[in-house]
Amino acid sequence: MLMLLKLLKDGRFHSGEALGAALGVSRSAVWKQLQHLEAELGLPIHKVRGRGYQLAAPLVFLSSEQISTNAASLTWPVHIFDSIDSTNAEALRLVDSGCEAPFVVLAEQQTAGRGRRGRKWVSPFAQNVYYSLVLRIEGGLRQLEGLSLVVGLAVMQALRESGVQGAALKWPNDVLVGRKKISGILLELVGDPADICHVVLGIGINVNMQKADDVDQQWTSMQLETGSAIDRNQLVARLGGQLQSYLDRHKAEGFAGLQDEWEQHHLWQGKPVSLVAGVTQIDGVVLGVDHQGALRLDVDGIEKIYSGGELSLRLRDDS
């Protein structure tokens, strides 16, 4: 089925006869594969009598060669998959099998993409970026402090470089445009954080997605924001460059060296919010973050600090 998709990726019309000849199958077999492409990958295909079949829009596949061309200074090995459960899960499997970090895992599609707090990450084929960078961490917990916030800065800058000027941050690890989510970050750790461990920096970016019925929150994509399709290979290269730069700064200075910059780009700085943990809700006003990346809230005139992976921050209705 993917071979058929690669024949159609140029966005031009191809006859059923020509496609069948290229694949060594009958025209009826081509028709069945086209139906599967539409049903399983959600890719609309135009069917015109006398002309053949055409993807509604051309596709550019992820390519390690193209990524390397656009980011010559990066030396991270890149593993690209057509379809896997999730890039974070595959990254953890590669760590278990002895793959040496750092390395990157990319996929055209995730069948079980994950967000924070167990949420599903909608992952249509060849439309977005599903990216996991694996790092080996030695020397203790300081290198993990505020790490998800640092990754958010890198993602935000890559988006802005690519034309999404309104990209900004939401604590702890979302990138928004206005109130609409354009990117999410999920960090997972394996090993002993006090000694030697591996951390997976999982990043999902809505790139060329224009429709998604299964998303349960406000969202946008780079194409919706800029009005034109985005080259995902160039975006991955920009993201890698920004990650390298911010991770180097974080290693040298800790999160304290990036705290002010992060607060400058926090959309909800100074805003009234509700912090939700399970059935508990805490209302306050965002003061910023501390040197470890924890949230600082003014709660009834008293500054309080909150951190943890199961917290959810929401704007209050009166904001």
State residue 293's pLDDT score: 93
Extract the tokens encoding 120: 């599903």
- 114 annotated ligand-binding residue: yes
- Give the closest residue to 315 by CA, choosing from 279, 266, 265: 266
Is 314 annotated as catalytic? yes
Catalytic: which of 116, 170, 232, 238?
Answer: 116
State residue 114's pLDDT score: 67
**Cα–Cα distance for residue pair 202/134, rounded to 1 Å:** 9
How long is the chain?
319
**Cα–Cα distance for residue pair 210/34, rounded to 1 Å:** 21
State residue 44's pLDDT score: 77
- 139 annotated ligand-binding residue: no
- For residues 218 and 180, the answer to whether their CB atoms sit within 8 Å is yes
Query: Whole-model pTM?
Result: 0.90
State residue 241's pLDDT score: 96
Catalytic: which of 170, 181, 232, 238?
Answer: 181
pLDDT digits (tens, 9 = 90+) for 167-215: 999 999 899 999 999 999 999 999 887 788 999 999 999 999 887 666 6
- Give the closest residue to 48 by CA, choosing from 19, 13, 3: 13
- Give the closest residue to 33 by CA, choosing from 171, 24, 155: 24
What letter represents residue 178's amino acid? Answer: G
Please name each of the domains of the chain with its CATH number: 2-55 (1.10.10.10), 64-263 (3.30.930.10), 268-315 (2.30.30.100)
- 88 annotated ligand-binding residue: yes
**Cα–Cα distance for residue pair 160/7, rounded to 1 Å:** 33
State residue 24's pLDDT score: 87
pLDDT digits (tens, 9 = 90+) for 49-60: 888 888 887 888
Residue 28 has pLDDT above 60, yes or no: yes
Per-residue pLDDT, averaged over 229-236, amounts to 95
Per-residue pLDDT, averaged over 30-43, amounts to 80
Is 304 annotated as catalytic? no
- 110 annotated ligand-binding residue: yes
At which residue do the structure tokens 């060296």 appear?
A: 257
How far from each other are the two terminal CA atoms of the chain, in whole angstroms? 49
State residue 33's pLDDT score: 85
* Percent residues over pLDDT 70 in the chain: 94
At which residue do the structure tokens 């990958």 appear?
A: 41
- 170 annotated ligand-binding residue: no
At which residue do the structure tokens 């960090």 appear?
A: 187
- 86 annotated ligand-binding residue: yes
**Cα–Cα distance for residue pair 150/173, rounded to 1 Å:** 9
**Least-confidence region, from 78-82, 100-104, 139-143, 315-319:** 315-319
Residue 305 has pLDDT above 70, yes or no: yes
- For residues 167 and 242, the answer to whether their CB atoms sit within 8 Å is no
pLDDT band for position 316 (cuts 50, 70, 90): confident
What letter represents residue 165's amino acid? Answer: Q
pLDDT band for position 319 (cuts 50, 70, 90): very low
Of residues 97 and 40, which shows the higher confidence score?
A: 97
| Separation in Å, CA 224 to CA 47, 100, 120, 219 | 26, 37, 22, 10
Extract the tokens encoding 311: 């917290």
Catalytic: which of 136, 142, 314, 316?
Answer: 314
Residue 185, beta-bridge partner list? 203
Is 180 annotated as catalytic? no
pLDDT digits (tens, 9 = 90+) for 265-300: 999 999 999 999 888 899 999 999 999 999 999 999
